[in-house]
Structure 1
Amino acid sequence: MNVENETSDEIQNFVDFQNLVYPPAFAAGCFGLTTRRLKDIEEEHGVNIRRVARGSVPSRAYTIPDIFEISALRRSLNQAKGLPRQIVVSTFVPKGGTSKTTTAVNLSIYCQLAGLKVLLIDNDPQGDTSGTLGYDPDLGPEDLVEMGIPADRLVDGHLGNLIGPLLRMRPFEEKTLDQVIKKPFGENGIHLIPADAYLEDLGVPLDASNNSDMWYAKWIEDGNTGQIPGCDLSVYDLIIFDNAPSGSRLTKNSVAASELLLCPVRMDKFSFRALIRLHDWCARFAKEYKFAPAISAIPTMFKRNRSRLLSNLVTLNELFPGGVTDEKIYFSEDYEKALDLGIPLMLWKGANKATLDAARDVYSEILGRIRTLANEG
């Protein structure tokens, strides 16, 4: 079932991202441009955008592939820049419901629109990141047929199919990157390595191996240096792992491979306890590995003028000095609505402008930190 009306209350089986259309103002906002400047870029470089009738005047109507095509064009013109070297990022907080997946997905989209080439890896066997992008890990081929969902939405590979062959124990069928990867928004959009429940089995050979927390780092290094046939990771500026809210072997591997740890944290009393656990977890990790990624703790679902939240924010800054973003993700029903519709907030034209602007400010700050790390290496 296609999504024809984004404001419909009906439960949709899937969202056809290729056929969603956007007005010029939204498309321009994705790049921080005026509609006039966006139109100039299209005319100067022969980008054809469909016209639709809006009243008596035809108006440009952009698809998601159109928007990402323009992003790729701007990069080729040096109007938007990649990174001087690849950066690996992980999300982690030892508590659910803190917006880790929302952050990973929307940051990936934001960075791709800003000129980076992004690989998003679902490292959680629950597959929430995959589901957010239209790949329900619980649906088999027969389910897709019955529900009228395209066959290419099948999750038929995950990180275990790529890393498993590096290990002595091989519980997974060996696959190339192209066989596993999904491209929900087309070639020029973010690329996704999805996950399903079988990814959890990767923990078994990891536990049994030497240097059990370093295999993701080895896979990335080998994939960047041409040592794995059919797995070229060097084309990506940014690799983002989205993790489960547990310090599992899979999570530790992703953190050990990362230079930046993103920690979206609610400021309520329950999430506040997670702050302490996160601080202690990071301290143990640093002691064990003599290394720790930089931290960006992101206050999420923040409400203004709440004394307890402000107090917790002070404590967060004390726990992670210099590691808390100045910008905040403010509470908004838009996040839940976007989730219900199956459209990431960064690509939902129904979102309130204030919600979008606040989120973009946070992701811009994080991208700034990523660029700093890339330039320091």
Structure 2
Amino acid sequence: MQPEIENVDDDAINYADFDTLLYPPQFAADCFGLTTRRLKDIEEENGIEIRRVPRGTVTSRAYTLSDIFNIAAVRRAKGHTKGLPRQIVISTFVQKGGTGKTTCSVNLAIHLQLHGHRVLIIDNDAQGDSSSLLGYDPDLEPNELAEMGIPADRYVSGNFGNLLAEQLRTRAFQPMSFDELVKKPFGENGPHLIPADANLEDLPIALDAENNSDFWYASWLERGRKNEIPGLDLSTYDTIIFDNPPHSSRLTKNSIIASDFILCPVRMDKFSFRALMRLSDYLARFSRDYRRSLGVLAIPTMFIRNRKRILSNLMILNDLFPGRVSEEKLYYSEDYGKAMDTGVPLVVWKGASAKTVESMRNVFGEVMNHIRKVASDK
């Protein structure tokens, strides 16, 4: 039987209180690829208390997302999962909207965290779609949050520019510490987020006035790894994901220069292929201008089986990026839109069909293998 879908108030701006969502043992076990018996053993071996809720005449274990991420942290601490030999930075980017970049960024971050990575998402788009998908609507003021009954900690008070503010000549951004800005939608052991708001649009202007304007993100990451920024130790993260807008900008260039590879979700339609052709040209110019060849992993999205045009486009995609297209695909499903309407990322949405979740986990398993290979190559 399909689990009941959460009731969602249309006036809540797709807000979901992650602390109140409860999941059955089978869902929690599936997040790790375990049996429910093994999951219970892990809880008992490590003294993890899981609430019980009435179910008919008996009670059953019910997990919050924080519970599930806490179990993931215990599994890592016990050596059941591993981090990476070195930190990997990824940019999601393709010069076309509607291909699934934000969906991939957020759900990949959750999948990686469940499988032993420590993940930081940086929302690099002034529209703040990644922030919104994780429950932080950048357009809402504190009084509006209060009116809607949304907790005050969901307020977005800044963006990545505030972390660079002390080094920028402009005073457009108020300096903020990492701890002041970072969001933890699922608790300490879930993926962390640097949110975005409309003020991020001012950052390209600020960077244009600086020397080495395309290298500020890379410099910040390097200093953060070396603990050269007070109150910040980025070395604790295995994977950092930049979610970019669907166009090239100073911010996009910064994230790509700082990255180990680009993740390119792409639909199998002619308009997305035009975007891929532009991306191919963009990477050629990037290689020439910065004397660095950048890796790419393309993910076919919204894929429909046995469509001749789609299969033909997939062949073209493989010709454009030989050996750099995922074998697995994200198949078309209404679940994506429905999950977004509930305000819950699809990979942890109870209403998703088994096939939709399975295809997503398969794709992200392949991405995770690619990440580990890149981390081991250098």
Residues 100-136 of structure 1 deviation map (CA, whole Å, 9 limit, x = unaligned): 0000000000000000000000000000000111100
> Is the CA contact 1:22–1:63 (under 8 Å) kept in the aligned structure 2?
yes
Separation (CA, whole Å) in 2 of partners of 1:293 and 1:38: 40
Measure how far apart 1:154 and its partner are: 0.4
Letter in 2 for 1:239: I
Q: Does 1:6 align with 2:5?
A: yes
Letter in 2 for 1:241: F
Q: Does 1:65 align with 2:44?
A: no
Match of 1:145 in 2: 146
Letter in 1 for 2:66: P
Separation (CA, whole Å) in 2 of partners of 1:170 and 1:284: 33
Q: Cα RMSD over matched residues?
A: 1.1
* TM-score, length-scaled by structure 1: 0.97
Higher deviation after alignment, 261-270 or 139-148? 139-148
Match of 2:321 in 1: 320
Separation (CA, whole Å) in 2 of partners of 1:9 and 1:146: 16
Letter in 1 for 2:223: D
Task: Please state whether the residue corresponding to 2:158 is helix, strand or coil.
Answer: coil
Separation (CA, whole Å) in 2 of partners of 1:350 and 1:211: 47
Separation (CA, whole Å) in 2 of partners of 1:280 and 1:33: 44
> Is the CA contact 1:157–1:179 (under 8 Å) kept in the aligned structure 2?
no
Task: Please state whether the residue corresponding to 2:72 is helix, strand or coil.
Answer: helix
Measure how far apart 1:29 and its partner are: 0.5
Separation (CA, whole Å) in 2 of partners of 1:6 and 1:244: 30
Match of 1:268 in 2: 269
Residues 9-59 of structure 1 deviation map (CA, whole Å, 9 limit, x = unaligned): 641512110110000010000001111110111111111111111112211
Letter in 2 for 1:289: Y
Q: Does 1:306 align with 2:307?
A: yes
Within-5 A mapping of 1:232-271: 232-271=233-272
Letter in 2 for 1:60: R
Letter in 1 for 2:138: P
Measure how far apart 1:165 and its partner are: 1.9
Change (3 A) 1:195 1:9: closer
Aligned residue-pair number:
373
Higher deviation after alignment, 202-211 or 109-118? 202-211
Match of 2:344 in 1: 343
Q: Does 1:230 align with 2:231?
A: yes
Higher deviation after alignment, 199-208 or 163-172? 163-172
Within-5 A mapping of 1:270-309: 270-309=271-310
Separation (CA, whole Å) in 2 of partners of 1:41 and 1:293: 41
Change (3 A) 1:12 1:74: farther
Unaligned residue ranges in structure 2 (runs of 5+): none
> Is the CA contact 1:177–1:232 (under 8 Å) kept in the aligned structure 2?
no
Letter in 1 for 2:159: H
Measure how far apart 1:285 and its partner are: 1.0
Letter in 1 for 2:104: T
Match of 1:24 in 2: 25
* TM-score, length-scaled by structure 2: 0.97
Separation (CA, whole Å) in 2 of partners of 1:293 and 1:104: 19
Residues 266-314 of structure 1 deviation map (CA, whole Å, 9 limit, x = unaligned): 0012212111111111111111111132100000000000001111111
Letter in 1 for 2:347: M
Measure how far apart 1:7 and its partner are: 4.3
Task: Please state whether the residue corresponding to 2:352 is helix, strand or coil.
Answer: coil
Letter in 1 for 2:272: S
Task: Please state whether the residue corresponding to 1:17 is helix, strand or coil.
Answer: coil
Change (3 A) 1:306 1:221: same
Measure how far apart 1:372 and its partner are: 0.7
Letter in 2 for 1:164: A
Change (3 A) 1:7 1:63: closer
Within-5 A mapping of 1:50-61: 50-61=51-62
Match of 1:45 in 2: 46
Measure how far apart 1:234 and its partner are: 1.2
Unaligned residue ranges in structure 1 (runs of 5+): none
> Is the CA contact 1:164–1:202 (under 8 Å) kept in the aligned structure 2?
no
Letter in 2 for 1:343: V
Change (3 A) 1:186 1:9: closer
Separation (CA, whole Å) in 2 of partners of 1:316 and 1:362: 17
Separation (CA, whole Å) in 1 of partners of 2:149 and 2:70: 28
Match of 2:100 in 1: 99
Within-5 A mapping of 1:106-145: 106-145=107-146
> Is the CA contact 1:303–1:309 (under 8 Å) kept in the aligned structure 2?
yes
Q: Does 1:88 align with 2:89?
A: yes
Task: Please state whether the residue corresponding to 2:60 is helix, strand or coil.
Answer: strand
Measure how far apart 1:8 and its partner are: 3.3
Within-5 A mapping of 1:170-185: 170-185=171-186
Separation (CA, whole Å) in 1 of partners of 2:164 and 2:287: 24
Task: Please state whether the residue corresponding to 2:10 is helix, strand or coil.
Answer: coil
Separation (CA, whole Å) in 1 of partners of 2:153 and 2:280: 41
Task: Please state whether the residue corresponding to 1:299 is helix, strand or coil.
Answer: strand
Separation (CA, whole Å) in 2 of partners of 1:169 and 1:287: 31
Task: Please state whether the residue corresponding to 1:19 is helix, strand or coil.
Answer: coil
Identity %: 61
Higher deviation after alignment, 345-354 or 157-166? 157-166
> Is the CA contact 1:327–1:358 (under 8 Å) kept in the aligned structure 2?
yes
Change (3 A) 1:7 1:50: closer
Separation (CA, whole Å) in 1 of partners of 2:208 and 2:182: 25
Match of 2:191 in 1: 190
Letter in 1 for 2:5: E
Measure how far apart 1:169 and its partner are: 2.7
Measure how far apart 1:144 and its partner are: 1.1
Letter in 1 for 2:130: T
